Amino acid sequence: MSKLLEAKGLTKSFGRLLAVKNLSFHVEEGESLGLIGPNGSGKTTFFNLIMGSLKQDSGEVFFREKEISKLPIHERVKKGIARTYQIPRPFAEMTVSENIHISTIQDKILESMRRRADSEVEGKIAESVGLKERISMYPHELSMGDLRRLELAKVLATERKIALLDEIFAGLTVAEIAQISELIRRKRDEGLTFIIVSHDLRALAPLVDRVVVICFGELIAEGPYQEIVNDEKVRQAYLGH
């Protein structure tokens, strides 16, 4: 397998707070990587650095061994990286179908001039995440589980190579977690690469090939899930003893 996404020495500080400190790791094509750490350890900041929402103080990001650190967000997405947000960010005045449709639009003015013909593509994507019945609903009519499904649908609609999922299980019921896990597993089997941030380690365990643990912005452990949960430094970071 080849390296799909790689972070080399990423550092980001906000004033005196060092949020990410010299962080380096990579994810291989088709791999599913778990990114865990206590609250405030820098996981979302790391996602923002990868996507270009934040500018790093130092370090580089590589996609398929080409540097993308200086590219704006939309160019990184076009290279093949898509993300979900910890707090879902649907377009409030648009239906589920319209929300998904935005992610299918090409970044070309002339092609965007066409009128929408039908919603077949959106329907298929909505069906794949279990939102078929709610395709005409607005975000305020959806549950948290459905909003997370919609986030996932938007990522799938971009047809990218790697999906960064930020706290995809937060606020979900056990049944909803099972449904979304099944969807991730299916997409992983189809070849989509994942980096999944989650506090729910039990939900994360069956989905990931490898886990990276960060604490206070620093990488403290890396390896298979079973090794990681028994790691002394990880237990210290999570449990304080």
Partner 1 sequence: MSWDILSGYTGYVSFGHPALIGVAGYTTAMLTYHLGMPLYASIPLAVLAALGVGMLFFFPALRLRGNYFCLLTLAWLIVIHCLVIAIRPDLTGGTRGLPNLPYVVTGAVPNFYLSFGIVFLVAVGLRYLAKSDIGAVLNAIRLDEDAVSASGLSTLRFKLLAFTLSAVTAGIGGAFYVHYMGAIAPEGVFSVTFLLTIIIAALVGGQNSIIGPMIGAYFLTFLLESLRVYIAGTPRFLLYSAVALALYVWKVRGFYGIIEDMANWHRKRRKAEEHV
Site of interaction with partner 1 (CB under 8 A): 51, 53, 72-75, 77-78, 82-83, 85, 89-94, 98, 101-103, 105, 107, 109, 111-116, 154, 157-158, 160
* Token output for 212: 């990276």
**Smallest distance from partner 1 to CB 240, Å:** 35
**Smallest distance from partner 1 to CB 102, Å:** 5
Instruction: Decide: helix, strand or coil at residue 179.
Output: helix
Smallest CA-to-CA distance from 7 within 106, 87, 103, 81 is with: 81
Our CB check for partner 1 shows the closer of 134 and 154 to be: 154
Dihedral angle sign, alpha carbons of residues 228, 230, 232, 236: positive
The answer to whether 167 touches 197, Cβ cutoff 8 Å, is yes
Q: How far apart are the first and last CA of the chain?
A: 37
Our CB check for partner 1 shows the closer of 195 and 237 to be: 195
* Token output for 64: 């398929």
Smallest CA-to-CA distance from 193 within 8, 50, 42 is with: 50
Our CB check for partner 1 shows the closer of 11 and 53 to be: 53
Our CB check for partner 1 shows the closer of 74 and 235 to be: 74
d(CA 125, CA 157): 7
**Smallest distance from partner 1 to CB 98, Å:** 7
Our CB check for partner 1 shows the closer of 151 and 231 to be: 151
**Smallest distance from partner 1 to CB 241, Å:** 39
Our CB check for partner 1 shows the closer of 45 and 181 to be: 45
**Smallest distance from partner 1 to CB 184, Å:** 19
**Smallest distance from partner 1 to CB 120, Å:** 15
**Burial of 218 by CB count in 10 Å (0-12 exposed, 13-18 middle, 19+ buried)?**
middle
Which secondary structure element, helix H or strand E, spans residue 149, and what is its range?
helix 144-157
